């Protein structure tokens, strides 16, 4: 009996649907921070339909388009998760963009703080540390 299109998939079902071995999906989790299946007790993975769509996009980019792992990471960083998913649409008939899922905007690289901002943050951290010490003291007495 086949699962419905919105059903969660085990790692073996996701791997079969994508045509890759299970260990490849586990490896991709270590290389792509945006691949995050749900994990149940004992670490068992369950892939939502949008997870399978993301995996399909990664598979297409790596295996069909010839991108490297760093290339897929850069595409995600520069153009966002929706672009990764879009790469897999139509490649095996199973992937599509879920209109109810927020794939997020591309992430901008972190900005470097100037010296003044660093000094203000250090000062604020010192204040917060002092306040925490006072509160800890009140808790011990109370």
Tell me, what's the pLDDT at 108? 55
Give the residues of the chain that fall short of pLDDT 50. Answer: 93-94
- What integer pLDDT is reported at residue 46 of this predicted model? 94
- Quickly list DSSP for 96-125: ---TTS---PPPPPPPPPPHHHHHHHHHHH
Position 139 scores a pLDDT of 84
Q: What pTM was computed for the model?
A: 0.65
């Amino acid at each position: 009996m086949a699962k419905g299109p919105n059903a969660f998939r085990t790692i073996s079902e996701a791997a079969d649907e994508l045509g890759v071995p299970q260990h490849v999906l586990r490896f991709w989790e270590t290389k792509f921070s945006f691949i995050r299946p749900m994990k149940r007790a004992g670490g068992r993975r369950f892939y939502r339909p949008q997870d399978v769509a993301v995996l399909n996009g990664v598979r297409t980019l790596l295996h069909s388009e010839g991108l490297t792992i760093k290339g897929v990471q850069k595409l995600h960083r520069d153009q966002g998760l929706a672009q990764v998913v879009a790469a897999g649409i139509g490649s095996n008939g199973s992937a599509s963009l879920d209109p109810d899922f927020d794939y997020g905007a591309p992430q901008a690289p972190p900005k470097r703080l100037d010296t003044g901002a660093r000094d203000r943050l250090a000062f604020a951290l010192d204040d917060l540390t002092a306040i925490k010490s006072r509160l800890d003291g009140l808790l011990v007495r109370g």
